[in-house]
Chains A and B, each alone.
Chain A
């Protein structure tokens, strides 16, 4: 089997390159390491897209199995993780499509909204506003808020800001242009900020104002 060349311009090859090479050489335990390294991220991304726990479990299994089967097609000109995320995003969209009985599902869905273009809620937030909520309550607020974003904004925000992909990697993963990623990211950030303001703004009287 052929070996992967380090990404051009990088002095040190990414540690995954050696693991991928070992898997290609027949060492399944090296794949075990790769799965343990990235399973949480893949599960999280799948949940963000499908918004369904069982679907996310299936996507995680299918994505890792597909990556294993297709490892020979991995060229090494992108990171293994970025390549894996692309597979997981595609599997997640396919799963959504199945659930919606064949209706087209794409990352372009619902992006033609003007909401969030200009911030309207100018209220400042309380210092460390998340501390006014318990862990479970806060997680529920964050879930509910991000689930309300249009799909095409949500995926970009998750890949770029939560999972730490670069703008270029996000564009490559989603098949979008860099300006499209930038524009969606700005609007996603502003919409989330605006929606979270109702929970985190400085309060005048009562402790909460969830209206």
Chain B
């Protein structure tokens, strides 16, 4: 397996949806290619960091204000 072929399956690997027949070949490539191992690990980490950190917070005060405005208009039939 080449690095390009590995890269084409990177998303499937991250999303745990690799076809069973490709799994062994991917693992074999990973064991011998540091480049692809780093790419896989740091791409996984990228996703994890974006998932676990709130970068656009909705502060409680603003949330309540927007919520009240939405519900007031819904009650009036918008």
Main secondary structure of the interface of A (DSSP, over half): helix
Complex CA gap A193/B45 in Å reads: 8
Interface residue? A155 (CB, 8 A):
no
The contact of B75 among A28, A47, A189, by CB within 8 Å, is: A28
Which of chain A's residues has its CB closest to B74's CB? A68
Q: How many residues of B contact A (CB 8 A)?
A: 33
Residues in B neighbouring A69, C-beta threshold 8 A: 78
Contact between B56 and A189, CB atoms less than 8 A apart: no
Q: Shortest Cβ distance from A184 into chain B, in angstroms? A: 11
A57 to B63, CA, bound (A): 9
Contact A35 B11 (CB under 8 A): no
In the complex, the answer to whether A44 meets B56 with C-beta atoms within 8 Å is: yes
> Which size bracket describes the interface of A in this complex?
35 or more
Report whether over half of chain B's contact residues are helix, strand or loop; otherwise say mixed: helix
0 or 1 for each of A103-124: is its CB under 8 Å from B? (1 = yes) = 0000000000000001100111
Q: Tally of A-B residue pairs with Cβ under 8 A?
A: 103
Q: Does A180 contact B (CB under 8 A)?
A: no
Q: Are B71 and A182 in contact (CB under 8 A)?
A: no
Say yes or no for B53: interface residue by CB 8 A criterion. Answer: yes
What per-residue 1/0 map shows which CB atoms of B48-63 lie under 8 Å from chain A? 0111011110100011
Q: Would you give the 0/1 interface string for B35-78, flagging 1 where the beta carbon is closer than 8 Å to chain A? A: 10011011101110111011110100011001101110111001
Q: Is A20 an interface residue (CB 8 A)?
A: no
B55 x A146 contact (CB < 8 A): yes
Whether A43 is near chain B, meaning CB under 8 Å from some CB there, is: yes
Contact check, A43 vs B58: say whether CB atoms are below 8 A apart. yes
Contact of A36 among B7, B67, B69 (CB under 8 A): B67
Question: Which one of A3-11, A78-86, A135-143 is at the B interface?
Answer: A135-143
Residue numbers of A with Cβ under 8 A of B are 28, 31-32, 35-36, 39-40, 43-44, 47-48, 56-57, 60-61, 64-65, 68-69, 118-119, 122-125, 129-130, 138-139, 142-143, 146, 157, 161-162, 182, 185-186, 189-190, 192-193, 196-197, 200
Which residues of B does A touch, CB under 8 Å?
Answer: 4, 7, 10-11, 14, 35, 38-39, 41-43, 45-47, 49-51, 53-56, 58, 62-63, 66-67, 69-71, 73-75, 78
10 closest A-B pairs by beta carbon, nearest first, are A47-B56, A193-B46, A43-B58, A193-B43, A64-B70, A124-B38, A142-B55, A44-B56, A139-B55, A119-B39
Given A69-B78, A192-B50, A193-B39: 10 more A-B contacts, CB < 8 Å:
A44-B58, A57-B62, A61-B66, A123-B38, A139-B53, A143-B56, A161-B51, A190-B10, A197-B42, A200-B42
